[in-house]
Amino acid sequence: MVSVIKEQDICLSCGECCKRYWITVLPDEAKRIAKKLKISEKKFLEEECTLLVKAYPKSTFGLLTYPVAFLPARVHNLLKKISNSQAYFIIPQVVLRRQENICTFLDDENKCVAYSVRPEPCKLFPFIVVEGYREAYPFCELFKKTHKKNPGPSRSYSKKLKKYFSLVSKKGFQKVWKNPPKKGLLYHSEQKIGEITLQEINEIQENSF
């Protein structure tokens, strides 16, 4: 009889994925995690989450793309130290807070204290892929031994993200989130360049409406 190796048997619970990446949280996930932790959603967002805003230079306008004239002066000054782009694709996210570069929910035994309600990126890792691009995770034994390609759940999550960001673009970040974190980090592509506030995100979007 051939023994079937299950994915959970390959995953060694090393916790490396929890130590390397920011984990995006969507509104429905925030509600579930807060309920699991037996705290209010507002307290969860204030104490366990932070803002993460990534800005990518872009030459054409579209979803969540803003000319530099719409940016607060301080944000624009931070970005122009890296690029002279006249427009940016700006992605505002709520992510799980990290302490010493480790997800706040990872305990001393590399166990997730919110595992049963963890966000979808945690459930899908390491099989999250962008259409046309396949990331490699050399530290992950599960990835090395299975090498899946864009499974259905990953595509489903990608559609959910597109729908979420479309809603953020249409209604505004603070209309999608009732009590988002008040401040967080600003990235130029994948490089951290400073901090950003909820007020500055709102200013960018208000200028575009």
pLDDT in tens, the chain (209 residues): 444 556 666 777 788 889 999 999 999 999 999 999 999 999 999 999 999 999 999 987 788 999 999 999 999 999 999 999 999 999 999 999 999 889 999 998 888 999 999 999 998 888 775 554 455 677 888 877 776 655 677 788 888 999 999 999 999 999 999 899 999 999 999 999 999 999 999 999 998 87
CB neighbours of 87 closer than 8 A, spacing ≥ 6? Answer: 57, 58, 59, 60, 61, 65, 66, 67, 68
Tens digits of residue pLDDT in 106-165: 998 888 999 999 999 998 888 775 554 455 677 888 877 776 655 677 788 888 999 999
Smallest Cα–Cα separation from 45: which of 91, 92, 90, 97?
97
How far apart are the C-alpha atoms of 67 and 65, rounded to whole Å?
Answer: 7
Percent of the chain with pLDDT strictly greater than 70: 89
Q: What type of residue sits at position 55? A: A
**Domain range annotation of the chain:** 20-115+172-208
